[in-house]
A and B are shown apart, each in its own frame.
Chain A
C-alpha cells in the first residue's frame, strides 16, 4: 500500500506480505549536495529525525566496514538508538548500502540501500529497506516509530478510499 496525503512529498511503499519498505522523494538540489547531506555528519544531524528530538551521531564511518550509530533523544529524556555497518565503499554513483538495527528491537537487522539519481535538475532519492521477515518489517516499525503514531492518526476513510481505488 502506498501512503501519501495532500502535502506529503515522501512516498512510502509498504507492499502487504513483503519484507521491504521502499521510500522515494524528489529534492530540488543537485545530486552531489543531497549525497553530502546524507554522508556528512555535520549536515545529517541537521535534518534526520523529527525536530522535537535531538540527534546525536556517535559513530559515522562512511567506508566499507565502517560503523554508524545514531541516537534520538526526546525532551523528556527518552532515547532511541540505531546502529549498523556500511557495506562497500559509499559513492555518488553506487549509493550507500548499510545494515540497520534499532536497539529497542535487537537482533532484527535490515539492509538498506540508498540511491540518488539526478534528472531535470532534481535529485530522486530511493531507499529500499529489506527486513529478515514480514513480521520483522511490521514489528520494527510498530515498535520503533511508536511515538509518532498517535499524532499521525489517519482516518479510516482515507484507507478505504485507497482500497477502493486499488480495486
Chain B
C-alpha cells in the first residue's frame, strides 16, 4: 500500500461516524437508509461519508433493485493494521530489552552498595 493510500485510509478512519459505519458493515451490507438510522445525521451527510470511505477503498457500493448497498472492503484495513503492527513491534521489542537492561543495572547498583557496606569497617 502506498503512503497516499495509507493516509486516505487513516483519514477516512479519523471520523467517528465513518468508524461507526464500518463497524455496522461488519454485520453485513446495508443501504444508506439503514446506515443513517442510528445517527442524527441526514442521509445526504451519510452519503458524503460513504463517498470518503469508498475513495479510501474501505467500502464498495452496488445497486440492488432501487437500493444502493454498501459493502465492507477488509483489505485496506488489514494493511493499515499491519503498518501499525510493524512499528509497534519495533518499539515493543526495544522497550522490552530496555526493561531487562534497567533491571540488570539496578541489580548491579544494589550489589555495589552491599559490597561497599561489607567493606566499611564496623
Contacts and interface: CB of A to CB of B under 8 A. Distances in A.
Interface in A120-163: 134-135, 138-139, 141-143, 145-154, 156, 158-160, 163
B85 A43 contact: no
A159 B11 contact: no
Contacts of A28: 99, 102-103
Interface in B13-54: 13-14, 16, 19-20, 22-23, 26
B4 interface: yes
Contacts of B89: 50, 145, 148, 151-152
Contacts, number: 153
A1 interface: yes
Interface residues of B, number: 45
A57 interface: no
Closest 4 CB pairs of A and B: A139-B3, A152-B85, A149-B86, A17-B14
A29 B94 contact: no
Contacts of A17: 10-11, 14
Interface string B73-104: 01001101111111111111111111111110
B4 A152 contact: no
A150 B1 CA distance: 13
B106 interface: yes
B9 to A, nearest CB: 8
Contacts of B13: 1, 16, 163
Contacts of A10: 88, 91-92, 95
B114 interface: no
B84 A135 contact: no
16 contacts: A1-B84, A8-B92, A9-B95, A9-B99, A14-B84, A16-B13, A25-B95, A28-B102, A37-B101, A47-B98, A48-B98, A135-B3, A141-B86, A148-B85, A148-B89, A152-B82
